[in-house]
Structure 1
Amino acid sequence: MWSKSNTKESSSPFHLNQVTNEEPPDGSIEENKMKNDLESLGAFEKDDDGRMHAERNNSSFLHAVINMVGMLIGLGQLSTPYALENGGWTSSFLLIGMGISCAYSSHLLGKCLQNNSKSKDYKDIGQQAFGTKGRILATTLIYMEIFMALVSYTISLHDNLATVFSSSLGSNDQSSHFAHLTTPQLITVIAVLVALPSLWLRNFSSISFLSTAGILMSLLIFVTVACTAIFGGVRANHDIPALQIHNIPAISGLYIFSFAGHIVFPNIYTAMKDPSKFTKVSIVSFSLVTTLYTTLAFMGAKLFGPQVNPQITLSMPPNLIVTKIALWATVLTPMTKYALEFAPFAIQLEQMLPNSMKSRTKMFIRGTIGSILLLIILVLALCVPYFEHVLSLTGSLISVGICIILPCGFYTKIFWREIRRPLLILNMILIAIGVILGALGTVSSSKSLVRNFERAHSKP
């Protein structure tokens, strides 16, 4: 999600997505320290418990905004026009409401971190609130979100690669001569294998440019859709339905996934020069991203109407140069995400290995496990190529918990003795809404996935 590119895509990502800052002086990062966009900005050191955290808090307000926006902008933006068209224009209030709720829950995470200086990341907040069970729950959801987001990224990679090469390949179902794969599937396998070596890099600062590239690709997609509306000869004259309430459970998952980046926000907080400004960072960042999503949603729905694709880039006229730019931007985005999205898992795995183990051995173990997981993700993406349903399921089943339910629950538990009644009621309402939307969305998207899977395999 991390981008949602985050980003997002964050990413974040995570939905995933950039976390950047000024480079530390040469030699300030020791060999046993890792830096990446999901573990905040700058150099790292280990605390008494062996966990890594930011060694220097040197992120300015502007850097923090860029980092948070970078985490949020990502995969989710592709589906907002489809979600608006299917939910009706009044569902834009749900999109905006999700943005406001997630900005508020981001603020709550900051308050939890402020309450306990030993807490450095999302898992620490879970530990602070509910002990070991809280940490296990947070860790499980984090890794599930990363895994399913990468499945969605790979589906997007396949779909857009198929469109990019459709003119030269003919039918997208054209069979190749290798392992009974279609030609687009074979090209997707090759693309993933090209990105695979990035999982073996130990120092993630050496691939920080991938995070920047992911953000630029996301912004480029928005610009190309706008150019289609202005210069592409496509008239924005489609009527958007007022409300299609039967589709709300499914599209709520798409909306919430668009704002998934909370697993990285604690790292942005701990890297700030002045953490007291974190709430302002959240307000500015979510305002910018919500405005971009809402604008893109209306733009895409008005341009393409009921024919709008779950990925807006696949609805754009194939003969336009801006379409080719958008398709390649969407293809390149997943390839910038794999190493960065795997970063939290890589760091956790590194900490679990014995300190006596050689650096090269650790790199081999981490790279091998990461490669195996990526190949499993590739297989799942090719077997279940239903982008909107997988994305909706990820948002409803996982992201709503990470973005709304858990932050409200953590804050309420930590500040139980001093929380005021209006705030307590607000948190309880948000938790209830999150649970209801999550449950309904999970059921709806799961049924759609099963239905499409059965339909595909029932064909002769």
Structure 2
Amino acid sequence: MEGENNDSNKLVDVSEPLLNELEAPNINISIKEGNTSFFQTCFNGLNSITGIGILSVPYALASGGWLSLILLFIISMAATYTGLLVKRCMDVDPTIKSYPDIGEHAFGNIGKILVTLVLYADLYMVITGSLILEGDNLNNLFPDLTVELIGISIDGKSSFIIIVALIVLPTVWLDDLSILAYISAGGVVASFVILISVIWVGAFEGIGFETKGELFKLNGLPTAVSLFMFCYTAHPVFPPLYTSMHNKQQFSTVLLICFAVCTLGYAIMAILGYLMFGPELESQITLNLPKQKMGSHVAIFTTLVIPLAKYALMLKPVAMSLESWFPTYQNKKSFKIVLRTILVATQVIVALSVPFFGYLMSLVGALLSATASLTIPCLCYLKISGTKWGVEMVLILAILLLSVLIVIFGTYTSVLQILGEIMRS
């Protein structure tokens, strides 16, 4: 035991990176500190990075052209390095256990508040995007559905968004989400199944890989970069995963393996999807798949399972944060049910108001993911470490510049696209 404590408190070399899970920052999934093995941590890391982003990378590549794929690898390397910076910030003080703790250690209470706001806004919008994803894919499977309610006609996509929200609502009321946590671990398998299904449709069900596509599209570059950034927004939960490791010296290896495997998967999906459908790609590749094919059915139904399994887990930290604002009532079950129901209702309203999955995820990637995964780790590390001018400082400043460009141009483009679609609809 003494050797373990010494290892965990050592300051780690710059070459050591790390990785963790995006979807549930402050959720207790019954993982005790120091008990998670190397392979368990790898699985959790893969589960964190792989997600609904894999559905949008072909559209991202179609938006920016073949050369934009280079930016996927640049963002992946930058995110890997900033993951290391998160770990190094934690090594400074063993009391740092969460992402907001890092913000507090660097910039005091203001830093903690700002980091928390970015963290929960990111989660809230990702979950809202999952409702839109469910509505899109169910409407694609059952395009003729229309619901009449109190004399009001509700179209199929809107109906499915409301129905899915009602289905997941009881799970949001639960306090013990350990069962759902284990279900959500199937995200890694689900992402792999989706990838294989898409390849199967292209190779054996008549689609083929013959579209040439465009080499470079400058006007679509902000969208492409924003969606690529959305795929690497796991940093807010790196701290609990790192803390849970039995042998923390292996964390750098975990990080490299997880980022390498996930980036390879994203690249394969982007390339094959673009070869299959070219500029006709929808915001989710599942919307392009021919509905009558077996491989398409497997991919679409697997896509539907992922958000349903993880919705409550992803929403819990946001709900707990809101409940803490009302200390007198936060332990009352009836209060929790009402507050969490209202929270889900607000997400339904947002999903119905901005039903453009690709544009919304582009906005989240540009504004929130870039801030949470690139800007915050760099700024906090510079403040905590007091790094002097040198190679490391130049590298960190370059990543900061990249994040600022993504935030400015990506957010501007995404907002214009969303407003344009709202005006046309």
Q: Report the TM-score, using the length of structure 1 for normalisation.
A: 0.84
1:42 pairs with one of 19, 22, 30:
30
Whole-angstrom CA distance in 2 between matches of 1:406 and 1:139: 11
User: How far did 1:180 drift?
Assistant: 2.8
Query: Secondary structure of the residue that 1:176 maps to in structure 2?
Result: strand
Query: Secondary structure of the residue that 1:119 maps to in structure 2?
Result: coil
Q: Which residue of 1 aligns with 2:351?
A: 381
1:221 pairs with one of 182, 194, 199:
194
User: How far did 1:419 drift?
Assistant: 4.6
Whether the 8 Å contact between 2:30 and 2:178 is mirrored in structure 1 is: no
User: Structure 1 residues 62 and 368, CA, compared in 2 at 3 Å: closer, same or farther?
Assistant: same
Which amino acid letter does the alignment assign opposite residue 314 of structure 2?
E
Q: Which residue of 1 aligns with 2:95?
A: 118
Query: Secondary structure of the residue that 1:79 maps to in structure 2?
Result: helix
Whole-angstrom CA distance in 2 between matches of 1:65 and 1:396: 27
2:394 pairs with one of 401, 421, 425:
425
- Deviations 1:351-385 (CA, angstroms, capped at 9, x unpaired): 6665x8795x1x33223212211111112111211
Which amino acid letter does the alignment assign opposite residue 285 of structure 1?
C
User: Structure 1 residues 428 and 202, CA, compared in 2 at 3 Å: closer, same or farther?
Assistant: same
2:264 pairs with one of 291, 295, 307:
291
Query: Equivalences for 1:203-242 in 2 at 5 Å?
Result: 203-242=176-215
Q: Which residue of 1 aligns with 2:220?
A: 247
Q: Which residue of 2 aligns with 1:176?
A: 148
Gaps of 5+ in 1: 1-9, 15-36, 44-54
* Cα root mean square deviation, aligned: 2.0
1:91 pairs with one of 68, 76, 95:
68
**Structure 1 runs of 4+ off > 4 angstroms?**
349-354, 356-359
Q: Does 1:76 align with 2:76?
A: no
- Deviations 1:49-92 (CA, angstroms, capped at 9, x unpaired): xxxxxx53111111111111101111111110111112111111
Q: Does 1:452 align with 2:421?
A: yes
Whole-angstrom CA distance in 2 between matches of 1:60 and 1:260: 23
Higher relative contact order (CA 8 A, sep 6+): 2
Query: Equivalences for 1:136-175 in 2 at 5 Å?
Result: 136-166=113-143, 169=144, 174=146
Q: Which residue of 2 aligns with 1:317?
A: 290
User: Structure 1 residues 350 and 376, CA, compared in 2 at 3 Å: closer, same or farther?
Assistant: closer
Whether the 8 Å contact between 1:253 and 1:393 is mirrored in structure 2 is: yes
The share of aligned pairs that are identical, in percent, is: 28
Query: Secondary structure of the residue that 1:180 maps to in structure 2?
Result: strand
Which amino acid letter does the alignment assign opposite residue 265 of structure 1?
F
- Deviations 1:89-134 (CA, angstroms, capped at 9, x unpaired): 1111100111111111111101111111000010000011111111
Whether the 8 Å contact between 2:50 and 2:187 is mirrored in structure 1 is: no
Whole-angstrom CA distance in 2 between matches of 1:80 and 1:210: 25
Whether the 8 Å contact between 2:286 and 2:296 is mirrored in structure 1 is: yes
Q: How many residues align?
A: 405
Which amino acid letter does the alignment assign opposite residue 89 of structure 2?
C
Question: Comparing both structures, which one devotes a greater share of its residues to helix?
Answer: 2
Query: Equivalences for 1:329-340 in 2 at 5 Å?
Result: 329-340=302-313
Which amino acid letter does the alignment assign opposite residue 210 of structure 2?
N
Gaps of 5+ in 2: 1-19
Q: Which residue of 1 aligns with 2:108?
A: 131
Query: Secondary structure of the residue that 1:68 maps to in structure 2?
Result: helix
Query: Equivalences for 1:273-422 in 2 at 5 Å?
Result: 273-349=246-322, 354=327, 361=332, 363-416=333-386, 418-419=387-388, 421-422=390-391
- Deviations 1:203-248 (CA, angstroms, capped at 9, x unpaired): 1213223312333332221111011122111110000211111211
Query: Equivalences for 1:3-18 in 2 at 5 Å?
Result: 12-13=22-23
User: How far did 1:350 drift?
Assistant: 5.9
